[in-house]
Amino acid sequence: MLEGTILEDHLTVFKEIVSDLESMEVKYDEEDLDLILLCSLPTSYAIFRDTILYTRDSLTLDKVYDVLLSKEKMDKLVGGLEAKSESLVARGRPHERSSGGNSGLAEVRE
């Protein structure tokens, strides 16, 4: 998968390949498919891939699909929030000066 490729497109192609293997009755270990899928991801997924590989006792292809799609949704959500936050402008009340010369701060009396 090249950097910038849509994850859903990559998963669709991968599922088609798996389907083709099944239709040709090719024997394979599902764990091998998990590893092939994870290793086919671009370098931007390196930390994610390593986390999945080293924190799970067992992997299934469906789990890998689910985790990848969840990550993609989270990235889109966070990316959308970051884009919105960049366009926000904070506005406050205009600064009022008091005639007492204390720059609007209340005097503390003991």
Closest among 72, 61, 8 to 33, alpha carbons compared: 61
**pTM for this one?**
0.59
Cβ pair 97, 32 in contact under 8 A: no
Q: Per this entry, what is the length of the chain?
A: 110
Domain residue ranges in the chain? 7-85
Amino acid at the residue 56: R
Give the model's pLDDT for residue 31: 84
Q: What is d(CA 41, CA 70) in angstroms, rounded to the nearest whole number?
A: 15
Per-residue confidence in pLDDT tens, the chain, 110 aa = 767 777 888 889 989 999 999 999 988 888 888 888 888 888 888 888 888 888 877 888 888 888 888 888 888 888 765 555 555 555 666 666 655 555 555 555 55
Q: How far apart, in whole angstroms, are the C-alpha atoms of residue 6 and residue 14?
A: 13
